[in-house]
Amino acid sequence: MLKTFGIRHHGPGSAKSLKKALQNYEPDCIIIEAPADAEGVVPYIENEGLKPPVSILIYNPKDLSQGSYIPFAEFSPEWQAMKYAVKNDIPIRFMDLPMYFQYSLDRAAKENTQIAIETKRMTAEEKSFRRDPIGFIAKLAGYSDSERWWEITFEQNENEAEIFEAILQMMTALRNDEAHKESISNLRREAFMRKIIRKAVKEGFEKIAVICGAWHSPVLENFIKYKQTADNAILKGLKRTSTKATWVPWSYDRLTFQSGYGAGVISPAWYALLFQNRKDVTMRWMVKVARLFRKEDMDASAAHAIEAVRLAETLATLRGLSIPGIDEMKEAAISIFGNGDSAKMNLIEQKLIIGKAVGKVPSEIPVIPLQQDLLKTIKSARLSAYWENTEELWLKANANNPQGGIDLREEKDLMKSHLLHRLNLLKINWGKNFVDNNRFGVVKGSFKEKWKMKWKPDFSIKIIEAGMWGNTLLEASNNFIQKRVAELKSLPELTALVEQSLNANLTDSIDLLIQKLQDLSALTTDVYNLMDALPNLVKIIRYGNTRQTDVKVVKEVVHQIIPRICIGLLGACVSLDEEASKEAFDKIIRTNQSINTLNNPLYNAHWFSALKSVSVSNQVNGILSGACTRILFDKNILDIKTASDQMSFELSKGGKVLHSAYWIEGFLNGSGLLLIHKPELWNIIDNWMDNLKSDDFKDILPLLRRTFSQFQKSEKEQMLTLAKRGQVIENQNLVDIEMDLDRAESVLPTVHILLGTA
């Protein structure tokens, strides 16, 4: 005797009805729609430490790009069936096409891509039916969405065990319709399912319960009608590959349609509440809404919850529903708690509709050595609270410091940093490092690091993939780095990798990296590549001691690179168009900041000499000569008279107006205070502007606007005051300010204390 139970994957109503049906039927064997090669992990269901949501992970150990997840929640009918079987000591069989066949089929499909040709012209209605046959029934019932119809009919209602007979009859009628044609993939899967059923019958089981997606139920219930030879013919010639299976934690947000999961649901958290206590589900959900609103310091009271329940139940009655669905709950919550503002419901969407639940997998379930080492290291670094947590959390955040931060001078925090940097190297991006950059991308260094943490279920396959590099996180990171070193041919990429390795404290790889760095820097002739590499190298030198790393060899490489940059700078800047000049400008600014950081007199002398050659060249774009002039003036290499003369020359009537505008942009980069405090320079620009022709002014206006838009509001206001006055006389007060002597005297006691003269 065999009985099929057609369910909706992750359907709470299906799960409750299935529990009743299994108790009534009392099967001696349960066969479940899941890949047959995952059956080996079934015994672990007996372990009380395995708590849903969890997933079976099936992967190809020889090709880790081939990995599949079969997730289960508490409200999944298959999970409830397995728990029932374990409790009653009933054998469990998995019957779906094994992934060791499916992976071979997937590979063959990629290698033999063909265009599908429609041999029969179908009407729009026939195409719609083929795409979504259940939608046809939903349409007859007055619904435009088959998921919504199924949820209201089967998942929200408290159906008895007999519901499965009705589902079987409905699916039989749909599958007998000539308009529907099964795909070869589905036919293959169903042939294998019937093969497993025949095997169970042959083993002598007398009351077999087959649990499958509702669509498959007719062809499995009546498996005798299908010839075994026909099924074997469909499966003939399938090639096998190797697979392994294990249990991994899963999360509610990965059970949703939005995550890309084909069998996903809209509202896992709601489904869980519906499964656990359908009778009081409306009140329980609204109480959770009220608590969540109060936690976020928003107005919410018991009266709000009661009124929202009444509104949700009224909506359900008007729509002919036995209980409110998630749509009715949301509408009621928006009206009562959100005062009609749907934006306030984003929080509810994430926490009470989708949910943040994450499952647990006990340590007794075998994992690869790398994962064992990783979990041990996470515990040692005191990061366990962030592992298997799908919320975005700042590391070590608190009320006073919402973005948290770790201190690299503390042993445990340094261990955290090494761990997270190693994982990022292996593409397991559990933590995202937020660094403070200036507008040119130069990092502001400190002993602090800020990390935003978010765990994802698919880390499990990435950990397995990383396991090919070693059995410990340190070993895997070092081996991965050594592979990357052999592949890299770009100096900037290599310097970035050196920095990553130092951040991760991969001491075993440093010698290889430095040797590669020396070789590649010696062979690199592109000045731009050298300039791109320098900031990372300087950062390593400056902050290496923070991580207790030796940077002597890096200093030697920098000692070789800087003279070569200086020698080749002018040649790299001549005859560039506007876009290339902007790129060169950014590189010059970054290189200047890096050399300033080193504060080495020899490097400074080489660099200033190179900048001077660019500043006076008539073959470079104005933005470059202007920027170089400004740097030299700021460093007192040029005095005010020389700078004024240079500006007068660049803005002279004989020059091109566009070149002059670019020169101003380069010279004024970063700050306009220079014009405010140096009347000589202001007068030159003011006079140049006065003498511009109308057409020329229109041409360069966008460029001037871009230049002056970078200044602070206070700077622009002072410039406006200067512009109204015209030419500025030296030592003239720029802004007339009346001194408030009483206010000034009030700070004198504090000044005396600071100076020690009190």
* 548 lies in the same domain as 620: yes
Q: Which of 23, 35, 24, 27 is nearest to 2 (CA)?
A: 27
Alpha helices in 488-526 (DSSP H): 491-503, 507-523
**What is the C-alpha separation between 664 and 655, in angstroms, rounded?**
13
Q: Which of 333, 242, 320 is nearest to 282 (CA)?
A: 333
**What is the C-alpha separation between 724 and 709, in angstroms, rounded?**
19
What would you measure as the largest C-alpha separation in the chain, in angstroms? 109
Question: Does 464 reside within a domain?
Answer: yes
Question: Does 492 reside within a domain?
Answer: no
Give the contacts of 348 (CB within 8 A, at least 6 positions apart). Answer: 289, 292, 330, 333
* 95 lies in the same domain as 60: yes
Q: Which of 697, 664, 685 is nearest to 728 (CA)?
A: 685
Domain residue limits at 664 = 639-758
* 633 lies in the same domain as 643: no
Rounded to 10 deg, the angle between the 679-690 and 713-725 helix axes is 70
Successive 10-residue mean pLDDT values, the chain, 758 residues? 90 90 94 94 91 90 82 93 94 95 86 50 60 75 75 77 88 75 88 95 94 92 92 92 90 69 72 84 88 83 90 89 85 86 73 81 84 91 91 90 89 93 94 70 64 90 83 90 85 85 84 80 81 84 60 80 91 89 92 90 93 92 92 91 90 85 88 81 85 87 86 83 74 54 83 78
Q: Which of 263, 265, 463 is nearest to 361 (CA)?
A: 463
Global pTM exceeds 0.85:
no
CB 55 within 8 A of CB 69: yes
Strand, helix or coil for residue 152: helix
* 51 lies in the same domain as 191: yes
476-482-485 Cα angle (round to 5): 140
Tokens of 359: 């499952």
Query: What confidence score (pLDDT) does residue 123 get?
Result: 61
Query: What confidence score (pLDDT) does residue 469 get?
Result: 84
Query: What confidence score (pLDDT) does residue 506 get?
Result: 86
Give the contacts of 261 (CB within 8 A, at least 6 positions apart). Answer: 71, 254, 255
Count structural domains, the chain: 5
**What is the C-alpha separation between 168 and 5, in angstroms, rounded?**
8
* 435 lies in the same domain as 468: yes
Question: Does 571 reside within a domain?
Answer: yes
Question: Does 542 reside within a domain?
Answer: yes
Q: Which of 557, 591, 556, 554 is nearest to 572 (CA)?
A: 591
* 734 lies in the same domain as 633: no
**What is the C-alpha separation between 584 and 568, in angstroms, rounded?**
12
* 527 lies in the same domain as 569: yes
Length of the chain counted residue by residue = 758
Question: Does 645 reside within a domain?
Answer: yes
* 580 lies in the same domain as 716: no
* 623 lies in the same domain as 648: no
CB 349 within 8 A of CB 34: no
Chain-centre distance for alpha carbon 420: 15
Give the contacts of 426 (CB within 8 A, at least 6 positions apart). Answer: 462, 466, 469, 473, 476, 477, 480
**What is the C-alpha separation between 386 and 524, in angstroms, rounded?**
43
Question: Does 323 reside within a domain?
Answer: yes
